[in-house]
Each structure stands twice: as structure tokens, then as C-alpha cells.
Amino acid sequence: MGSGPRLLKHRSEPVPEFPVYLFDVDGTLLDSATDICGAIQGVLATTCQNNVTDEFLRGYIGRHLLDLFEELFPDYTREQMEQMIADYRRIYLARNHSFTRPFPGVAEALAALPGKKSTATTKGTPTTRFVLEMFGLLPYFDHVQGTDGFPAKPEPNVILESLKVFGATPEQCLFVGDSPADMEAGRRAGVKTCAVLWGYGNREEMARWEPDFWIEHPSQLAVQLRQFV
């Protein structure tokens, strides 16, 4: 009940300018669910969980695949899950992001934003860099940070790594994402958070982490800036 008024309040407030912007990728910059879910379904096809829906899988986008596989296969060993993750990566890369597209307005918003920009995604850095370049978004970023050998969101590590690169404090940063894991990671990192409403995350679960801002379109990130242009 409490999330409704909070959502309306934050949606009515413009987003101020920040020195540093960090972005989740899947569900925030890129509409990549078809390729991600398709690759997961390829892994699940020969298992007892071959009837899982894409709607269910979308709720796990942005989290580590171990979270999903531990939910679906509680009796599997870590080695079995690691093999499934390797199979997913092989299938995902083979799809070549064929059904992935930037969300409308993302490129324009990135171009209009001031300050430093980096990613903060569960993807590895090389894959993130490749996919951003593929869709023409890489030139807008000063740094690309993926999850490389450290805990994934909702742990705050990927956010803190980008802040370290920029020599920035959490107070100088806005983290933009579409999932509860993004909002939790942002809170734990001490940065300001912005929840986007065009992605895959559950709004009620995101609201539990009390995002500082809610936006319905990427252009709202630059709304204050544009008032003075």
C-alpha cells in the first residue's frame, strides 16, 4: 500500500545533474530479454525445468545466474551449476544479440547527460564493452565496468569499482537501473538511485528499497539540464 504514493512522489520530481552516472545494462539500456531468456531456455531444455516461462526468467535478469539455478535446481552441485553457466554463455554469445535493441531514447539521453558515465552490470566487462559497441552506445561511456571475479548485484561491488576508477564519492553518483537488485546494490553502495519503469524489474520490490527517483523515459534523466539549454 505504501509504495503507490512513494512512486507517484518520485515520478513527479525532476532528476538533478550528477557528476557521475552509472547504468545497469540489461533492462535499462538494452532490451535484451529475448536473447537472455532464449539462452537460458536453451540450457533448461534438457532438464526437468524445461517448462519455465520467460516471464519467470525476466525476474532474474540482472542477477547472477547462480541465483536462478539454485532456485530451480536446489539439489545440484556447484560443479553442475557452473557447467550450466558455461553452457548459457556459449548459447548466449552464439545468438549474437540478434533480438537485442537499445530502448528508445537511451542514446539521446546518454548524449545529453553531463558528467562521467560508466556501466555497473552483472555482465562481464568484455561482453559489456562488445554489446555497447555493437549498438553504438560505447562512445557515450568514459568507463565500462562489469562483474569480473567479485560478487554480483545486489552486492555493491560493481558500483564501488566504477567509483574507484573515477575517484568519486557515493554522494556524487546516480545509479540507474531496472531491478530490485539494482536498487539494493545502490543503497548498499551509498549512491543515489533511479528506478526505470521500462525494464524487467518488479516495481513493488524496487519500491522496498526506496529509490530516490523514478523515471518513465530516458529523456527524464536530462530534464533539468534541457531546461537551461
- Residue 71: all three cell numbers together: 532456485
Q: Give SS3 for 214.
A: strand
- For residues 224 and 16, is the Cβ–Cβ distance under 8 A? yes
Q: How many CB atoms lie within 10 A of CB 4?
A: 11
- For residues 27 and 62, is the Cβ–Cβ distance under 8 A? yes
Longest dimension (CA), the chain: 58
Listed residue (147, 183, 144, 127) closest to 64, CA to CA: 147
- Residue 207: all three cell numbers together: 519500491
The residue assigned the cell 518488479 is: 202
User: So which residues are the catalytic ones?
Assistant: 24
Rounded to whole angstroms, how far apart are CA atoms 207 and 41? 29
Rounded to whole angstroms, how far apart are CA atoms 13 and 153? 27
Rounded to whole angstroms, how far apart are CA atoms 155 and 2? 26
Rounded to whole angstroms, how far apart are CA atoms 164 and 33? 30
